[in-house]
Structure 1
């Protein structure tokens, strides 16, 4: 190999080495920026969710309607800010639904829960969170249109009891659904289970009184 050719080969190898080194550095920097932006968005979303939860609790606890509505609207705003940063976060969709329910936007709340309980969002919900969301969705289905949605509500409640344990609220509502469907024995069984796990359940006690011995 001639000296000139050797120099050209060496320069080519050096150039390629520098190119690949720069490419590696740029890739690392790009990944670092992506991770930084993702982590920052996650932190910001978490702060909005914390505020949404706080205002939702305030809305539920205050006896004054005007104050309750103000807190509910702030909770809704914070939940929507969280969703703008993390659109697939099921907790944000659930909080949004709870706030929408308090401001009497039942149909919108129901749609938000549909998103939270559908793939891929639902995969991120813990069993207890999923059970609570299913119970709330069943309640809203009945409020929006009991006649058309009672069967769907029953499915949600049965699943909620299966994954979340014997929840008095779920069992009481399940008993009501069975009663509306004319399923007397199933209704009594649900009411009795509700009282076993929650002796103070007025819904279950009144249901059993209606059904009689």
Structure 2
């Protein structure tokens, strides 16, 4: 009889222990999720504030004002990244702000981070294509000859991911021109015109190559 009582007591103690454990664990998990949620929401606020500042910087007529706003946008991007370092969008925002400030190599580094694991996983294919186009643009701006192959690689991937990316085709055509690949350049410019018949850069390029129809 004493053994039965001890067994029932042990079962009761185990049941109570499991009961309290089941109530304690979700509470701890919820606390972590709430904390993560607050950090994520705060990171998004910094990102959107930065995006608004960048838009104002781009539309500013005064160069000094534009640079000041771009600096503020980069600062907001840094605040977002301090809360969520894997957010590719914040790295891209920082890159765009740095580019506007004239810091093209630093902008390239930010884009490299955005397009590398694990950050790149947070981007859609279209967003990856847009980021690759921007990186190619920076490669060409920093050093046309030395970086043209890197730019072409990015642009080929950009148009694969975003087949209707007119600007990417135009820049790809320019890169092929730099490499002396006129037939490939013509194909790229003609594709841009098919996608956007009113594309002035593509038509001017074909005229320049003596290939306009």
Q: Same fold (TM over 0.5)?
A: yes
Select the residue among 78, 82, 85 that pairs with 1:84: 82
CA RMSD of aligned residues (A): 1.6
Per-residue deviation, 1:42: 1.4
Select the residue among 122, 125, 129 that pairs with 2:123: 125
CA distance in 2, matches of 1:200, 1:46: 37
The answer on 1:104 being equivalent to 2:98 is no
Runs of 5+ in structure 1 lacking a partner?
none
2:32 is matched with which residue? 34
Q: Deviations over 1:130-149 (max 9, x none)?
A: 11101000011112222222
2:114 is matched with which residue? 116
CA distance in 2, matches of 1:201, 1:105: 29
Cα separation, partners in 2 of 1:66 and 1:198, compared to 1, 3 Å = same
Select the residue among 167, 170, 181 that pairs with 1:169: 167
**What's the TM-score once normalised by structure 2's chain length?**
0.92
Q: Deviations over 1:159-179 (max 9, x none)?
A: 111211232211111011000
1:155 is matched with which residue? 153
Select the residue among 65, 69, 72 that pairs with 1:71: 69
Instruction: Give the stretch that moved more between structures: 139-148 or 94-103.
Output: 139-148
Number of residues of Structure 1 aligned to a counterpart in Structure 2: 211
CA distance in 1, matches of 2:4, 2:125: 68
CA distance in 1, matches of 2:155, 2:98: 21
Runs of 5+ in structure 2 lacking a partner?
none
CA distance in 2, matches of 1:195, 1:77: 39
